[in-house]
Structure 1
Amino acid sequence: MEKNKPLIHTLTVGMPKELVDSKGRSMITGIEKQRVQEVYLSSQGFEGDDVADKKHHGGPDRAVCLYPTEHYIQWEQELGKTLPVPAFGENLTVTNMLESDVCIGDIYKIGDAVIQITQGRIPCSTIDRYTEANTLLKRLIETGYTGFLARVLEEGTICADSTIELVEKHPARISVLYCNEVYFKNNDAIAMKQIQAVDALAEDWKEKLEKRIQVLQRKVMS
């Protein structure tokens, strides 16, 4: 087996349902997913998988959620406890696909499907509530270890033991980690424009960055 070849650690899907946290607070969320051996991936996402908050999650640009296995070790050490897999609502927990190496626009063939990376994941408070760890969301943002999302270029079946092949590296070579650092620091209009210029970037990110660029430019002018 090739060294550092991307691999599927777990393949999971799940529908939104009610979850009650340790404080008795109820939420409807799709974060809890179950392992499957085989599932079909369409342009809208995996069969048997959905999100509750359609405004902030899901849609064609965010059809697949991936999270690097390697980060679990760090989070479990920091939190002093074992996390469920998946802890972040990801469909694919993957090895050898870190945010520092994966770039916006990169194209991967996974099983019969082909996906393209579109954006870093913007984590929400559901992660803290689901994992019962009130520092995890903050740490994901601080480190940029958010995982990432993808659109589907070719639909097809993915199995738990399917291979992951890099089909094409995007020429801009703008990593997910770099995007996260720029996005969460929110003070570099030039870097934002550089990210915004990547054709494969999710439309939602293009719009968010445009608003931020305009705010920064008004500050400079005032």
Structure 2
Amino acid sequence: MPVVLSLNIAQQTVPVDYAREGATGIDKRPVDGPLEVRAPGAKGSAGSGVAGDAIADVMSHGGDYQAVYAYAREDLDWWQSELGLDLRNGRFGENLTTQGIDQTHARIGERWRVGTALLEVTAPRIPCRTFAGFLGLKGWVKRFTQVARPGAYFRVLEAGAIAPGDEITVVHRPEHDVTVEMFFRAVLTEPALLPRLLEAGDSVPPEVVDLVHRRTMIELDF
């Protein structure tokens, strides 16, 4: 049975020299919960969808389409073996550490009932210098990109409460085949796939839809 192993938040941002904003909320720690999750509002003017979770760079993180970030314990275990690091739950900055469910091959628009909340898969996590700086690993962005186990972002369709131990149930799976992994590759390594993302409809973040249209116009100009 797929479950939430750990519910993780950053109760405050921490000053660092490797983040663009000079601070970060990536260091998320397990809490007992339950905590409310809700749609926080548009990116740039809102933070996390998880109550009490601090975000420093609201231009790049948070907002409705990145309200909740989840990462699989199975993938943390794989990285732990590869890196020789102790990767506790929350170490990748995830709000939900899950067990028993595949996020890499989840489809954009897939809906999960978690606790009393209804979440929808919207995007993969795109690695950044803050992520690399937090882990203290040179070449981390490139390595994370090559492996393509990015975890998934969600928007909140129905607000509710989530706690460690809550069951995860997939209640809807779209007919298209636009997965988290395909989205990740389209944005970072295989731009020819970008038009395919539109098959997922309004589950795709608006800024990514804009990226697809801009790239299409550039190609038409040539």
* Shared fold (TM-score, shorter chain, > 0.5): yes
2:8 and 2:30 in contact (8 A); partners too: yes
Could you tell me which of 48, 52, 59 is aligned with 1:48? 52
Change (3 A) 1:132 1:210: same
Post-superposition Cα deviations, 1:120-151, rounded to whole Å, max 9, x if no partner, equal: 11121111111112233222111221111111
Post-superposition Cα deviations, 1:37-80, rounded to whole Å, max 9, x if no partner, equal: 21111111011013111111110111000111112222222222
Q: Which residue of 2 aligns with 1:107?
A: 111
Q: Which residue of 2 aligns with 1:193?
A: 195
CA RMSD, 1 decimal:
2.1
1:187 and 1:216 in contact (8 A); partners too: no
For 1:206 and 1:75, locate their aligned partners in 2 and report how far apart those are by CA, in whole Å: 31
Change (3 A) 1:118 1:187: closer
1:83 and 1:131 in contact (8 A); partners too: no
* 1:166 maps to 2:182: no
Find the residue that maps to 1:171 and give its secondary structure: coil
Find the residue that maps to 1:130 and give its secondary structure: helix
Q: TM-score, normalised by structure 2?
A: 0.86
Find the residue that maps to 2:90 and give its secondary structure: coil
Q: Which residue of 2 aligns with 1:204?
A: 207
* 1:144 maps to 2:139: no
Q: CA deviation at 1:182?
A: 1.7
Q: CA deviation at 1:187?
A: 3.3
1:39 and 1:158 in contact (8 A); partners too: yes
Q: Which amino acid aligns with 1:214?
A: M
For 1:65 and 1:33, locate their aligned partners in 2 and report how far apart those are by CA, in whole Å: 11
1:7 and 1:164 in contact (8 A); partners too: yes
Could you tell me which of 80, 85, 90 is aligned with 2:89? 85
2:104 and 2:152 in contact (8 A); partners too: no
Find the residue that maps to 1:167 and give its secondary structure: strand
Post-superposition Cα deviations, 1:80-114, rounded to whole Å, max 9, x if no partner, equal: 22124212211001123334421100001000000
For 2:183 and 2:129, locate their aligned partners in 1 and report how far apart those are by CA, in whole Å: 20
1:79 and 1:133 in contact (8 A); partners too: no
1:72 and 1:83 in contact (8 A); partners too: yes
Find the residue that maps to 2:101 and give its secondary structure: coil
Change (3 A) 1:173 1:51: same
Q: Which residue of 1 aligns with 2:35?
A: 39
Change (3 A) 1:112 1:99: closer
Post-superposition Cα deviations, 1:195-218, rounded to whole Å, max 9, x if no partner, equal: 123111111221222223333443
For 2:30 and 2:167, locate their aligned partners in 1 and report how far apart those are by CA, in whole Å: 17
Q: Which amino acid aligns with 1:210?
A: H
Q: TM-score, normalised by structure 1?
A: 0.86
Poorly superposed stretches of 4+, deviation over 4 Å: none
For 1:142 and 1:154, locate their aligned partners in 2 and report how far apart those are by CA, in whole Å: 34
Q: Which residue of 1 aligns with 2:45?
A: none
1:107 and 1:168 in contact (8 A); partners too: yes
For 2:75 and 2:125, locate their aligned partners in 1 and report how far apart those are by CA, in whole Å: 14
Structure 1 alignment gaps of length 5 or more = none
For 1:56 and 1:170, locate their aligned partners in 2 and report how far apart those are by CA, in whole Å: 27
Could you tell me which of 123, 127, 147 is aligned with 1:123? 127
